[in-house]
Copies of this chain bind each other. A is one copy, B any other.
């Protein structure tokens, strides 16, 4: 691979001139420019990004940390990030937190040395999150409440929980359960939102929990929730993965949705359109969130001081899993 000095030699100019030409940081006489361009072309020269980073202190890379790449919620965000990144000639470095052996901090420290900024979408203890500000690079925390020193981007999870609760009340459900993913980001808030709305109607919310946000865990929890003395007639799941598993297992158990029980989740994943019945959920425009996160980061890197805290509006997406046919509801 040709180096800048070879190009300079071939074009009969100095190495500095080539550098300036490449970075468009200075113009030269048409003759010189032509010679350089021609040399670059002929040698197939491409500037070495590492050497460039070394000299400029900028990497042209961003780090994205997500909880689990198998969860479409996270990949949707990555899609958005990727789109904006590639458009701006940035490269994205991805870390799957679930696969990370050695705690968050060491991993983040290592990662941060290789990138200009970070986008975080994980359930990370509050302490760790706050600590990231000390990395000396801009970080966008997706799904986190506003916080000094960080750029954040989120949609109100309490509000989302309320929407689901309110919707279920309007559909005349009576006995509510919440499937929690303890310690996950937004878990408490989603639950609290639903709980508040139900409490206002004088109705309690029972909580169950699963260890991971997977379809398999949703399946596993279904029987223990539904085959009990007083099963709920409406269950709100921490996310759509769990909800989808729950629905599938209910089908196997001969439990009819939404006739026997309503089921809903959060994130509005595409798989919610594939289940039978289709899944009611909360849409948070995840892909767009990724775009916004990356745009915000780029602005910060460009010294534009963007809005530090962006709030995205959540939307209730009602599908079959929570809506009883008219006559059934009347009983």
Contacts and interface: CB of A to CB of B under 8 A. Distances in A.
- Kindly state the interface size class of chain A when it binds its partner: 35 or more
A112 B92 CA distance: 13
A76 B92 CA distance: 18
Interface of A: 1, 46, 48-51, 53-54, 59, 61, 69-70, 72, 75-76, 78-79, 82-83, 86-87, 91-96, 99-101, 109-111, 113-114, 136, 215, 244-245, 247-248, 251, 270-271, 273-276
Contact of A46 (B46, B72, B92, B113): B113
Given A87-B101, A91-B114, A136-B1, A215 B79 contact: no
Given A1-B136, A79-B99, 15 more contacts: A46-B110, A48-B113, A50-B53, A50-B59, A70-B72, A70-B76, A70-B270, A79-B96, A83-B96, A83-B99, A86-B96, A91-B93, A215-B270, A274-B274, A274-B275
A86 B79 contact: no
Contacts of A276: 251, 275-276
A179 to B, nearest CB: 17
A180 to B, nearest CB: 22
Contacts of A50: 50, 53-54, 59, 113-114
Looking at chain A's contact residues, is the secondary structure mostly helix, strand, loop, or mixed?
Answer: helix
A94 B82 contact: yes
A290 B252 CA distance: 32
A95 to B, nearest CB: 7
Contacts of A51: 54
Nearest to A272: B274
A95 B215 CA distance: 27
10 contacts: A50-B50, A50-B59, A61-B93, A69-B75, A69-B79, A70-B76, A82-B99, A86-B100, A87-B101, A251-B276
Given A79-B69, A114-B91, A244-B274, A46 B96 contact: no
A248 B94 CA distance: 33
A245 B271 CA distance: 10
